[in-house]
Amino acid sequence: MMNNKPILVFQTDFTYKEGAVSSMYGVVKSVDRDLEIFDSTHEIPQYDIWSASFRLLQTVRFWPSDTVFVSVVDPGVGTKRKACVAKTVRGNYIVTPDNGTLTHLFSDPGIVEVRSIDESVNRLATTTGTSVFHGRDLFGYCAARLASGIIAFDEVGPVYPIDQIVRFDIPDPWIDDQGLHGIFEIMDPNFGNLWTNIPIEFMKKLSLSYGDSVHLAVHHGSTLVLDTIVPYHPTFGYVAEGRPVLYTNELMKVAFAICMGSAKDTYGLRFGPSWNVTIKEVK
C-alpha cells in the first residue's frame, strides 16, 4: 500500500553523540509509525541559526512540496521566543523556533503563512515540566501530528503576521563600476569552500566567461583579508591541486575554493554578513 503522507526531514545542531536525535524520532513514530523520517544534517555548528537558515534554503526546494521540515537550532529554548510552523509558497511546512531560522526562506521561495504552536494541544504531555528539549517535546511532536493528518495546518495554533517573523539582515548582491559585490554566505564545512550570494548571471553582466582571470577581494568588516587574481572555471579540476579557483556552485552562485584543499583554512576565511566579497575584471 502506497504511503502518501508527507515526509519529515530533520536538521539540528545536536550531532549523534547522545540520544537526542533518536528520542525525537521515537516521538514521531509513537504518533504514527507510517511516517517517513529523513535527516538533512545534525551537524550544524552549535547555536548557528544563520547556518540553519541557509541549509533550509539549500535543501527545501529539492523535496516534494508537502514535505514537513523540522529545524531545531535553538539557543533560546524554553524562553519567550516563538515556536512556529511556517508554510512556504511551494507548500512545504517548516517547524522551528522563530529565531532567524526562516530568514532565507522568507525571500526564496517565500512564506505565505506562519502560526504559533499551541503548546496546550501540540506539545508532548508526558514531558510536561521540562523546557530544555523542544526539539522532541514540541517541534518533533507537532510536526508528526501535522504530517500524519491528526491536525491540519490551521490547528497548529494562532496565525500571526509574516512581517513579524524574526529575520537576519542579508545584504543583497549588487553591481557598480567597481565590480560585483556580495558576501560569503555559507561554507562547505567538509571541504572549506566559501559560497557567495552572487548569482552567476552577474558574471555574465561583466562579460566574464569560464577561463577568464578575475580580481577577488575579501574584506571582513573594514579589514582586507584577501586580495588576489584567481581563475574562473566551471569546477575545481580545471586548476592544479592546491590552486585557488572561482566556480559555479550547486545553487548557481559564485563560490571560492582550492582544488583538493581548504580555502577557509588557507586564507583564514569565514562567512556571514560581515564577510564582503568584490569581484572585478582584470584589466
CA-nearest of 105, 122, 127 to 114 is: 105
Domain with CATH 3.40.50.10790 in the chain: 8-164
CATH number among 3.30.420.60, 3.40.50.1100, 2.40.30.90, 1.20.120.530, domain 174-281? 2.40.30.90
Domain with CATH 2.40.30.90 in the chain: 174-281
The one-digit pLDDT tens for each residue of the chain (283 residues) are 567 899 999 999 999 999 999 999 999 999 999 999 999 999 999 999 999 999 999 999 999 999 999 999 999 999 999 999 999 999 999 999 999 999 999 999 999 999 999 999 999 999 999 999 999 999 999 999 999 999 999 999 999 999 999 999 999 999 999 999 999 999 999 999 999 999 999 999 988 999 999 999 999 999 999 999 999 999 999 999 999 999 999 999 999 999 999 999 999 999 999 999 999 998 7
> Which one-letter amino acid corresponds to residue 165?
I
Question: pTM to 2 decimals?
Answer: 0.94
Q: Locate 194 and state its grid cell.
A: 566559501
CATH number among 1.20.1560.10, 3.40.640.10, 3.40.50.10790, 3.40.50.2300, domain 8-164? 3.40.50.10790
Give Cβ neighbours of residue 35 (< 8 Å, ≥ 6 apart): 5, 8, 28, 29, 144, 147, 148
CA-nearest of 226, 254, 229 to 243 is: 229
Q: Would you give the DSSP letter of residue 232?
A: B
Order the strands of the 68-72 sheet from edge to edge: 37-41, 8-12, 68-72, 93-97, 83-88, 111-116, 159-160
